[in-house]
Structure 1
Amino acid sequence: MDLAALDLDKSLRLYPLTFLEEGEEVTVGRPDIDSYGLFPVDAAALLRRLEAGDSPNEAARWFGEEYGEQVDILEFLEVLDEYEMLVPEGEQVAEAKAVRWQRLGTALFSPPAWVLYALLIGAGIAAMVLDRHVAPRYQNIFFTSSSLVALTLGNVIGQAPWILLHEGAHAVAGRRLGLNSTLRIGRRFYYLVFVTSLDGLVAVPRRKRYLPMLAGILVDLLVACALTLAAIPLVRQPGAAGLIGRLFLAMAFGTLMRFAWQFYFFLRTDLYFLATTVLGCNDLQTVARQTLQNRFWSLLGRRERLVDPEGWTPRDRSVARWYVWLMVAGYTLMTALLVIAVIPTAVRITELAVHKLVADPTPLNVTDTCVFLVLNFGELAIAGVLAIRGWQRRGGRATRAAVAEEIAG
């Protein structure tokens, strides 16, 4: 938008905006495109004047009278344009579309639904405690010995629908509040994950954010309990019925392991976002990482590499002082597990597959072994590709920033 051509004595058109005041900051944004920014209370008040129909010059005069300070209104308009809050000349503002699945979200998290969820979880936990045949244990993952591929499909691919259900619960819980959501594939260290984006949560009061954040964990518990209960009449049966029962228990155990994975806060899990919301943080992970980088570069005397802490919120800065050590400990543990568990397990899996291939090189065994290896190592390969692409994008952005700085200089 050409701000230089604006008539500052005429009212501007703004897109429909949301305002959420929390302490000394106000979250303002466009929910239709999930563009949000943090504004000081006085800046948000100035924005409200523009939204109410004041011209930029009128709003600037009001600001000076109200707060006793002068405001650079053109600079303020540049900020609004950066967040795409100003309607360009001649553009029509479309009516906001209704968010799909909002009624479904309301029904799934209604009081009767919560009663059913409580009964299912209670029954599932009771079954796990009272019946040793369906108790969660790592042996459950070896539900068959007839095929390596079948074993992998049950334990890896078999988790896919439950993972999507987990992410779908986040999305539906958010859409219940009228928020848009997107689903993408991401990476957490050397894990491949599905990620649901609910950017609009920043404009929702904190007490309403907890359910969308915890909905996935709730689904994990419901799935684990439902699979356990479904396995009870099958697991002692011979033949296909028993195999299905053991498969249910394998998937239930995998789901419980994903529930335990939520406690890896440093991987930005659901519980991490819950904790940062309760603590009142804005971007704790980034601030903690930059704090660690600053300490590292300070030790090396490379002060030109330090990140300016002016962009950190006081709360993030305070919590990051102790959270940074939790993050370091977590990554150290994950790296140690990679060395002492993941890599040796991968080597052992490869040895078993090669041994089976050498001992009985029939076409069926060759196919079984090759598919088994692809399924087991495919996730790590994809995570590696995503990591490389992420580093390339960051490197490209850094190069462009350096070129722009050189041109500006």
Structure 2
Amino acid sequence: MIHEKFTKDSIISLSNLTVIKEIDDYTIGDEQKNIFFRVPREAVYVIEEAEGHNTIEEIQNSILQNKKIEIDVLDFMNTLNNLGVINNISLNEGHRNNFIKNLGKLLFNKTTVIFYIINILLTIILLISFPNKLTPNYQDTFVLSSIGLSLLLFFFVSWFLVFVHEGAHYLAVSATGKKMNFQLSIRWFWVVIEANMNTLWSISREKRYIPFLAGFFIDILIINVSFILILIINDIFVISLLKMVALIQFYKIIWQFIIFLRTDFYYVLLNYFGVSTLTKGSISYLLRKISSKYSLFFDQLSIREQIICKRYSWLYVISLFAICYLFLFFSIPTVFHTLKTTLNILSAFAYNTFEFWDSFIVIALIFFEFILWIIAAYKRFKRGD
């Protein structure tokens, strides 16, 4: 809610705002409205004084007297007002589903993190020990002899695993006592479901890592179980199904290294470095030689921010290798094989055969994915991402 413009006589309470110390600055925001932003220490002085008892002028004078700092409190209050984070009444957090919260605490805590780390190490060991049996390849997409039914199965399994991944984030966030929501979006060519975890900026930095990594932990657990079952099961169909699951999870794990798409790893690094300009600063460092705009932006960063952005920019090289690997070894071969087979069948136009209608499933899935992409792009455009 945006109120009328304030005056020096206005009495305002900012008790609804959370304040969390980062490295060089603070994250403040309204958890109920899901609005968070970074501010310097001076802004926190204002929030601490604004308890609904003193006028804006009294707050300014108090800070000047006690902190020896002159702050334009009126301008700051009007800025917060324009952002819609000033309330007349402090909002209390709604009731939580205790079962979900307790389940989240059971699955995602400091002890279980050790278990997930062991899973990561075990997955690496299994891949190194049995590369021929376990290393995923694009042919694992096609579990059945029917290409259309294989892709249909792949479609449902992959989206189910996406929901499992996001569900892990949901449980981990719930364990902190916060809430989150999901939204459909696009990352380059891919349609994705994003877990909006902005409420995590209202808790301490140390407590954010597990919710950010919860989806990745579950991905590793699933691929690890799939690898073990592949090694001990003899049924060909079950092995093929498990290989498809492993392929999907392997793809998602490599995806995490494409940090410029704001993956879970990106938010972990953002939280670790505590620099709100991490992405823009790194891009500015890389492009500063060819653009005066980027050069000017990078030069305006603090020495610490410049050092961090320089180091972080090297991760874009890893991102480049990751995206090339996914395209060259998975996406392009799968699409080429699918289209080649489908077009060969459709060219015969034998619509009374199973093969023709099997190929029609492929066309229908491509059309459905295209519709999803349009919807996701529209939603992202409306959000202004």
Shared fold (TM-score, shorter chain, > 0.5): yes
Residue aligning to 2:217: 218
Residue aligning to 1:318: 307
Residue aligning to 2:358: 368
Offset at residue 149 of structure 1 (A):
1.7
Residue aligning to 1:98: 95
Q: Contact 2:25/2:39 (CA < 8 Å) preserved in 1?
A: yes
- Give 1:63's aligned amino acid: I
2:275 matches 1:281: yes
**Are the structure 2 counterparts of residues 161 and 386 from structure 1 closer, same or farther at C-alpha, using a change threshold of 3 Å?**
closer
How many residue pairs get aligned? The number is 381
Alignment of 1:142-291 (within 5 A): 144-231=143-230, 234=233, 236-237=234-235, 242-289=236-283
Deviations 1:206-254 (A, max 9, x none): 22111111111110011112334445565x23xxxx4234212211222
Distance 2:316 2:205 in 1: 24
Distance 1:345 1:83 in 2: 46
Residue aligning to 2:37: 37
- Give 1:364's aligned amino acid: F
Offset at residue 15 of structure 1 (A):
4.3
Distance 1:43 1:77 in 2: 10
Offset at residue 340 of structure 1 (A):
9.8
Structure of greater Rg: 1
Q: Provide structure 1 residue ranges, at least 5 long, that are not aligned to the other structure.
A: 398-409
Distance 1:335 1:126 in 2: 24
Q: Contact 1:3/1:78 (CA < 8 Å) preserved in 2?
A: no
Deviations 1:288-338 (A, max 9, x none): 34555665443xxxx6x9875698666444333354465378459847976
Residue aligning to 1:58: 58
**Are the structure 2 counterparts of residues 175 and 51 from structure 1 closer, same or farther at C-alpha, using a change threshold of 3 Å?**
same
Distance 1:246 1:320 in 2: 43
Offset at residue 18 of structure 1 (A):
1.7
Distance 1:206 1:340 in 2: 37
- Give 2:340's aligned amino acid: E
**Are the structure 2 counterparts of residues 31 and 118 from structure 1 closer, same or farther at C-alpha, using a change threshold of 3 Å?**
same
Offset at residue 384 of structure 1 (A):
6.3
Identity of aligned residues (%): 20
Residue aligning to 1:353: 342
- Give 1:355's aligned amino acid: N
Residue aligning to 1:405: none
Distance 2:299 2:15 in 1: 30
**Are the structure 2 counterparts of residues 267 and 220 from structure 1 closer, same or farther at C-alpha, using a change threshold of 3 Å?**
same
Offset at residue 49 of structure 1 (A):
0.8
**Are the structure 2 counterparts of residues 134 and 79 from structure 1 closer, same or farther at C-alpha, using a change threshold of 3 Å?**
same
Residue aligning to 2:136: 137
Residue aligning to 2:84: 84
Distance 1:284 1:27 in 2: 15
- Give 1:189's aligned amino acid: W
Q: Contact 1:152/1:376 (CA < 8 Å) preserved in 2?
A: no
* Larger RCO (alpha carbons 8 Å, 6+ apart): 2
**Are the structure 2 counterparts of residues 308 and 388 from structure 1 closer, same or farther at C-alpha, using a change threshold of 3 Å?**
farther
Counterpart of 1:36 in 2: which secondary structure?
strand
CA RMSD of aligned residues (A): 3.9
Q: Contact 2:27/2:201 (CA < 8 Å) preserved in 1?
A: yes
- Return 368-377 or 322-331, whichever deviates more: 322-331
Offset at residue 259 of structure 1 (A):
1.1
**Are the structure 2 counterparts of residues 273 and 232 from structure 1 closer, same or farther at C-alpha, using a change threshold of 3 Å?**
same
- Return 265-274 or 287-296, whichever deviates more: 287-296
- Give 1:280's aligned amino acid: G
Q: Provide structure 2 residue ranges, at least 5 long, that are not aligned to the other structure.
A: none
Counterpart of 2:219 in 1: which secondary structure?
helix
- Give 2:266's aligned amino acid: Y
Q: Contact 2:31/2:199 (CA < 8 Å) preserved in 1?
A: yes
Residue aligning to 1:400: none
Residue aligning to 1:407: none
